[in-house]
Homo-oligomer: A and B are copies of this chain.
Amino acid sequence: MGEDPTTLHDIARTLGISIGTVHRALHDRPGVSPMTKARVLRTARNLGYRPNLAARYLSSKKAFRISINTLQGTTSFWDEVRAGIREEAGAMLMENVQLEFRTYPSLGDGEEEAFESAIGEKVDGIITFPSHVQKLRPWIRRASRARIPVVCVATDAPNSGRVGMVAIDTLASGSIAADLMGRFLGARQGSVAVTLFDNAITEHAEKYEAFAATLRSLYPNLQVLDAIEDYDMEKEAYRKCGRLFEEHPDLAGIYVTTEASIPVLKAARDANLLERLTIITTDLFPDLVAQIRSGAVSATIYQRPRTQGRMAFRMLHEFLVDGGGGSSHQIQLAPHVVMRGNMDFFLQRQSQESVDEKGGQLREPARNGSREWLGTGE
């Protein structure tokens, strides 16, 4: 029952060697013959050795330095992600964690430089938003080769060597949006549109597929139209929506999977369709709040950025501490459904927790340094 955990000393004793050698062998540091190293590794496994982290932190009091490569705070989403990371880093009782925020102003502008700098400065880990997977994949690979673990947040970068990722479950998002849409529309006949960023991005395609599948099976009275791609351009979204309204007079609802919901709403308003359409959006940002409150948007699928940030930090930290032995490195979060009824809860929580975090930093100023870093612009 109360078996004492095995220590370096135990391994050394059973092999008749010194703990120095055991230590070197376990951390494959030079100065150990291949044979003894193999023996050490074997008995370590046999005895079920797990390092005592308290002793480790006590002895080598180095701080983890982790880089957070994300988009600048034009949208509140990434501010919340970063707040979640800060929050969780501040809750680390034992160890020092240094956060370096490398932010870039827009998609595809400075993300490679951020990676280069992080790798060059030899950080211990990276949390990143792999916006353009194909462009970032080689950088993630490079970091992995430099033994720097990378955790992806909000979007996955498969086959890149990343050690883990945390994101919103796309199937759950698409399906709950479809179910809500169906219930909201009741027995009405008509067609339903979906806008997304780019069908080439796995997550967005999955959301669309889940939405379409759920709507087909549960609400056959509604027809899903082909996806509308807006490529994050407001003009594009507005223009395509206008055409959509003309071509589909039976349109009953729209599901906006991107953050570009404002131009969609504007197009609907300009076409005098706002009353007739049931609109479900994604995320929760200031401009959207008024639209939800007025009832123009029936519901929004909230992607919980703060929790994503918290989880990403925990995952990376566990990996750094544990050497990757931990639990499954894929976290899919359930999105929240936000409507008029419960929106205040989320808004208030956003502001409230920032205060909490500030309090935490004041309480223990010396322990957790956090250095801001701006990717581009001087």
Contact = CB atoms under 8 A, between A and B. Distances in A.
Contacts of A342: 172, 175-176, 179, 334
A55 B59 CA distance: 9
Contact of A321 (B93, B172, B295, B332): B93
Interface string A319-351: 001100101100010101101111001100100
A247 interface: no
A277 to B, nearest CB: 14
A161 interface: no
B50 A339 contact: no
Contacts of A34: none
A341 B342 CA distance: 20
A58 interface: yes
Given A183-B183, A360-B327, A346 B322 contact: no
Nearest to A185: B186
A366 B48 contact: yes
Nearest to A177: B341
Contacts of A299: 183
B214 A369 contact: no
Given A175-B342, A179-B341, A179-B342, 15 more contacts: A5-B367, A50-B364, A50-B367, A55-B58, A94-B94, A169-B345, A172-B342, A176-B337, A176-B339, A176-B342, A214-B340, A214-B341, A218-B341, A327-B359, A334-B345
Interface of A: 1-5, 48, 50, 52-55, 57-58, 91, 93-95, 169, 171-172, 175-180, 183-184, 186, 214, 218, 295, 298-299, 318, 321-322, 325, 327-328, 332, 334, 336-337, 339-342, 345-346, 349, 356, 359-360, 363-367, 369
